[in-house]
Chain A
Amino acid sequence: MTKKVFLHEDEMPREWYNIAADLPHPMPPPLHPGTGQPVGPDDLAPIFPMNLIEQEVSQERWIKIPEEVLEVYRIWRPSPLCRAERFEKLLDAPVKIYFKNEGVSPPGSHKPNTAVAQAYYNKTFGIKSLTTETGAGQWGSALAFACQLFGLECKVFMVKISFNQKPYRKLMMATWGANCIASPSEETEAGRKILAMNPDSPGSLGIAISEAVEAAVTSGGETRYSLGSVLNHVLLHQTIIGLEAHKQLAKIGEYPDVVIGCAGGGSNFAGCAFPFVRDKINGKEIQIIAAEPSSCPTMTRGPYAYDFGDTVQMTPLLPMYTLGHDFVPAPIHAGGLRYHGMAPLVSQLVKDGLIEPRAYHNLETFKAGVDWARTEGFISAPETNHAIAAVVEAARQAKEEGKEKTILFNWSGHGLVDLSAYDAYFSGQLTDYALPDEEIQRALKAIEAFPKP
C-alpha cells in the first residue's frame, strides 16, 4: 500500500483554478457601503494592488501562476498526498482516506499559498509594505514569512486577547522580520480612539481590521492591506491544493467519493474542494462537505440569525439549549443572503447545493483530532480537527450503507502552536454543556434584580 503520493516539482500545477468561471448562478457584485453601487476597481485601489483586484473580479477559468511564486512554492510544494491507513483501521469502515498535508509549509498551514502570491503581486506593483490583522496568528505568520521572501515590510495587528494568549505566534512573526502589534494600538487613530475609551480593551477582529486598513490607506501609497480568507483571489490561490490532489490521485488510479475541508473563512476548504466542485458541476457524482463548528455555525445555521426579527419572535429557547449530537441543522431559509464571515463563493455554492455544510461539536472534533494524532502521528490545528470529525462521520456512514468509499480531505495545518487548546480538552475545560440548570436559573434570576437598561 502506498503511504505517500508525491509529485515532482515540475509536475506542480502552473495555473490556479477560478471557479467564478463555472458557477451555475453568477454572484451579484458586492455593493459599496457608502454609495450602494457595485464595488469597482477604483474603490479597492487604495486597499489592494490592481493586479490582485483584477484577479478578484476575473472570470477567467485558469490564471497563470507566476514563475517567482512557483519558485517560492517549491520550498514545500508539491505537498504530499498521504493515505491514513492507521486511522482507517481505527475507524473499521470500508473507506480509503487520503489527506493533503498542508502542514509541511514553513508556517505550518495552507495560508502561505495565498500569502506568497499576495506578497509577489504587491511587490511587482511597487508596494513596499503590507499590513494585515490576525486572530490566532496563523495568517499573520504566513504573511510575515511571505513578505520576508519578497523583501516587503510587514505589520500585523493581532487582536490583543490572542496576542497575550499566544506569545509564540508573535515570535514566529518577529523571526520572519514582521512587526506584530497588539490591537488596539497607539499606531492608528482607530486604535487610539478605542484605547481612550477603554485602556484595557482586549481588542476585536473588527478593531484589528480597522487598524490594518487605516495603516495601509494613510501610508501615502507605499502600503497595501492583505487578507488571508474570504476574498475571491485568496480562494483562487489556494486551489493549488486541490489541483495537486487531483493529479496525485490520478497517479494511483483513484478518485474521491467524498471531499472534505474545514470552513472558517472558506479558503482552505475551497483550496482543496473547488477543483472537485468543478467536476461535480460537470456531472461527476461526488459529495463535498464543508465542516464548521456547531458552537458558532456560519453556514449550517448562520442565515437563521437574520430572521430573528425582534425579541418577541425569538426562536424557542429550550429546544435550542437542549440540542445535542442529534442536532439537525436548521433549514436555510434566507435565500440570497450571504453567510457572515464565509467566503461569498463558498456561500454561493452551498446555496446552489453543490456543497453540504456540516457542523461538529467541540468535543467530537478534539476526540477525532486526538484519535488522529494517536494513529497518524500528526497533531492537527483545532480547526483541522473539524475536517477529521467530518471524515469520521463519513466513514461511519459508509459502514452503515455498506458501501466502499474513497475520502479526500485537507489536513490544513498542525497544532503545535495551539497546544493550549489541547490542554483545555484534556483538562475537561472544553464542554458542550458547561453549567447545571440550577446555576443557570440562579444567574438569570440575579439579573432580574437590576433595572432593565
Chain B
Amino acid sequence: MLDVKTVFDELEIRCPRLGGTVPFDYCRKVANGLPCTKALLCWEMMFPVREYMAKVLTEEEWRTVFDQPPKPRLEVILEAAQKASGRRE
C-alpha cells in the first residue's frame, strides 16, 4: 500500500466498532498497514474513498481487504484460539 499523507488523514469519524472517534489515518492502515475492511462503507459519504483506495492499494491488496467476505465474529475467535494454541505448542 502506498503510504502517503493527505488531507483525508485528519478527517474524523465515529467508529461503531470501537465506539469512539478515529481519524482516517487510523482506518487506512489499521490491519497491519492495510485498511479496515469497512473503510469503504464508513468513509464513502465523507470523500471518494474508493477512488483513493484504488490509487494507493495494489489489486492484490484490494482483493485481500475488500473482496473477501468478512469473517463472522465466532470464526475470528476460533482462529485466534487456534493460533494461540499453536504458539503454546
Taking a contact as CB atoms closer than 8 A, the residue among A213, A341, A451 that contacts B70 in the complex is A341
Chain A positions 425-445 with a Cβ under 8 Å from a chain B Cβ: 429-430, 432-435, 439-440, 442-444
Min Cβ gap B18→A in Å is 4
* Chain B positions 7-61 with a Cβ under 8 Å from a chain A Cβ: 7-8, 11-22, 26, 30-32, 36-38, 40-42, 44-48, 50-52, 54-59, 61
Question: A305–B82 contact, CB under 8 A?
Answer: no
Q: How far is the CA of A315 from the CA of B50 in the complex (A)?
A: 9
User: Which residues from chain B contact A421 at a C-beta distance below 8 Å?
Assistant: 14, 20-21
- From B19, B41, B66, A302 is in contact (CB under 8 Å) with B41
Which residues on A sit within 8 Å (CB–CB) of B7?
A: 435, 439, 442-443
On chain A, the residues within 8 Å of B21 by CB distance are 165, 420-421, 424
| B6 and A447 form a contact (CB under 8 A) | yes
State the CA gap A400–B41 with chains docked (Å). 31
With A320-B45, A383-B19, A446-B6 in contact, is A202–B26 under 8 Å at CB?
yes
Residues of B within 8 A of A166 (CB): 20
Whether A214 contacts B18 by the Cβ 8 Å rule is no
Q: Are B16 and A264 in contact (CB under 8 A)?
A: yes
Cβ of A338 under 8 Å from chain B: yes
Q: Indicate if the CB atoms of B56 and A444 lie closer than 8 Å.
A: no
Residue picked from B12, B48, B69, B78, most chain A C-beta under 10 Å: B78
Q: Which residues of B contact A297 (CB under 8 A)?
A: 41
Q: What string of 1s and 0s marks CB contacts (under 8 Å) between A17-40 and chain B?
A: 000000000000011111000010
Complexed CA–CA distance, A337 and B68 (Å): 12
Q: Bound complex: CA of A214 vs CA of B26, how far in Å?
A: 24
Binary contact track B51-85/A, C-beta < 8 Å → 1, others 0: 11011111101110011011111111111111111
- The reply to whether A217 and B73 form a contact with Cβ atoms under 8 Å apart is no
The CA-CA distance from A210 to B84 in the complex, in Å, is 8
A412 CB–B CB distance under 8 Å:
no
A338 CA to B73 CA, complexed, in Å? 11
Judging by beta carbons under 8 Å apart, are B63 and A310 in contact?
A: yes
Highest count of chain B CB atoms <10 Å: which of A340, A382, A442, A450: A340
CB distance from B47 to the nearest CB of A (A): 5
Number of interface residues of A (CB under 8 A): 93
A435 touching B46, Cβ below 8 Å: yes
Known contacts A135-B17, A165-B20, A434-B11; is-contact A452 B77 (Cβ 8 Å): no
> In the complex, are the beta carbons of B38 and A34 less than 8 A apart?
no
Type the 1/0 row for A375-401, where 1 means its CB is closer than 8 Å to any CB of B.
000000011000000000000000000
Chain A contacts of B38 at CB under 8 A?
Answer: 296, 305, 340
Q: Which residues of A contact B30 (CB under 8 A)?
A: 202, 204
Contact B47 A453 (CB under 8 A): no
Considering only CB atoms and an 8 Å cut-off, how many residues of chain B contact the other chain?
Answer: 66
Q: How far is the CA of A338 from the CA of B2 in the complex (A)?
A: 31
Stretch at the interface among A64-72, A225-233, A271-279: A225-233
Q: A218-B87, A301-B41, A420-B21 are in contact. Are A450 and B4 (CB under 8 A)?
A: yes
What is the bound-complex CA distance between A310 and B65, given in angstroms? 11
Task: Compute how far the CA of A434 lies from the CA of B13 in the bound complex, rounded to whole angstroms.
Answer: 10
When the two chains form their complex, are residues A162 and B41 in contact, meaning their CB atoms are under 8 A apart? no
**A314, B16: Cβ atoms closer than 8 Å:** no
In the bound complex, residues from chain A placing their C-beta under 8 Å from that of B42 are: 295-296
Give the distance in Å from the alpha carbon of A265 to the alpha carbon of B7 in the complex.
Answer: 31
Let me know if B26 and A453 touch, CB within 8 A: no
Cβ of A259 under 8 Å from chain B: no
A46 at the interface (CB under 8 A from B): yes
Task: With A43-B78, A162-B20 as known contacts, state yes or no: A338 contacts B84, CB within 8 Å.
Answer: no
Contact A382 B2 (CB under 8 A): no
Q: How far is the CA of A227 from the CA of B61 in the complex (A)?
A: 30
Complex Cα–Cα for A80 and B13 (A): 33
Q: Give which listed residue, A205, A225, A305, A424, contacts B18 with CB less than 8 A.
A: A205
* A217: B residues at CB distance < 8 A: 81, 84-85, 88
Given the known interface contacts A204-B31, A217-B85, the answer about A161 and B22 at a Cβ–Cβ threshold of 8 Å is yes
Q: Which 8 pairs between the two chains have the least Cβ-Cβ distance? A: A136-B19, A340-B70, A214-B84, A135-B18, A213-B80, A296-B42, A443-B6, A210-B80
Sample (26) of A-B pairs whose CB atoms are under 8 Å apart: A33-B82, A39-B74, A44-B78, A161-B20, A162-B19, A165-B21, A206-B76, A210-B84, A217-B84, A217-B85, A292-B16, A296-B15, A297-B41, A302-B41, A308-B40, A309-B67, A321-B44, A323-B45, A382-B19, A424-B21, A434-B47, A440-B48, A443-B52, A447-B56, A448-B55, A453-B57
Given contacts A31-B75, A229-B73, A314-B50, 10 further A-B contacts (CB under 8 A): A30-B75, A33-B79, A46-B81, A135-B17, A138-B19, A161-B22, A310-B63, A321-B48, A418-B19, A448-B55
